[in-house]
Amino acid sequence: METNNQNTDQAPEKKSGNKGFAIVFILLILVGGTYGVIKYFHAQKHEETDDAQIVSTISPVIPRVPGYLKEVRVQDNQIVHKGDTLLILDDRDYQVALAQAEAALASAKSSATVAGAGIGVAQANISTSEVNINTVQAQIESAKVNLWRAENDFERYENLIKDHSITQQQYEQALASKQLAQRQLDILETQKQSASRQATAVSKQKSVTSSQVSVAEASIKQSEAGLETAKLNLSYTVITASIDGQIGKVNLQPGQFLSAGQSLFNIVPIRDKWVIANFKETQLTKMKVGQKVTIKVDAYPDSALEGTLSSFSPATGAAQSLLPPDNASGNFVKVVQRIPVRIDFNEGHDTAFVEKIRSGMNVLIDVHLD
pLDDT by position in tens, the chain (length 370): 444 454 555 555 555 667 777 788 788 888 888 777 766 666 678 899 999 999 998 899 999 999 999 999 999 999 999 999 999 999 999 999 999 999 988 888 887 777 666 666 666 666 666 666 777 777 777 777 777 777 776 677 667 767 666 677 776 776 777 777 777 777 777 776 776 767 666 666 656 666 666 777 788 888 889 999 999 999 999 999 999 999 989 999 999 999 999 999 999 988 889 999 999 999 998 899 999 999 999 999 888 889 999 999 999 988 888 888 777 766 778 888 999 999 999 887 778 888 888 999 999 999 998 7
Widest distance between CA atoms in the chain: 211
State the Cα angle at 135 between 130 and 141, rounded to 5°.
125
- Provide the residue type at 255 as one letter: G
Contact in structure between 273 and 56 (CB atoms under 8 Å): yes
- CA–CA distance, 270 with 250 (Å, rounded to integer): 18
Assign 3-class secondary structure to 127-185: HHHHHHHHHHHHHHHHHHHHHHHHHHHHHHHHHHHHCCCCCHHHHHHHHHHHHHHHHHH
- CA–CA distance, 309 with 293 (Å, rounded to integer): 7
Tally of CB atoms within 10 A around 293:
24
Query: pLDDT at position 126, please?
Result: 66
- CA–CA distance, 20 with 31 (Å, rounded to integer): 16
Pairing state of beta strands 265-268 and 59-61? antiparallel
DSSP-derived secondary structure for 292-342: EEEEEETTEEEEEEEEEEEEE-SS-TTTTSSS---TTSS-------EEEEE
- CA–CA distance, 100 with 91 (Å, rounded to integer): 14
- CA–CA distance, 312 with 285 (Å, rounded to integer): 12
Q: DSSP assignment, residue 343? A: E
- CA–CA distance, 124 with 59 (Å, rounded to integer): 64
Query: pLDDT at position 10, please?
Result: 52
Domains in the chain, start-ordered, CATH in brackets?
46-57+269-370 (2.40.30.170), 63-90+237-262 (2.40.50.100), 92-235 (1.10.287.620)
Contact in structure between 249 and 66 (CB atoms under 8 Å): no
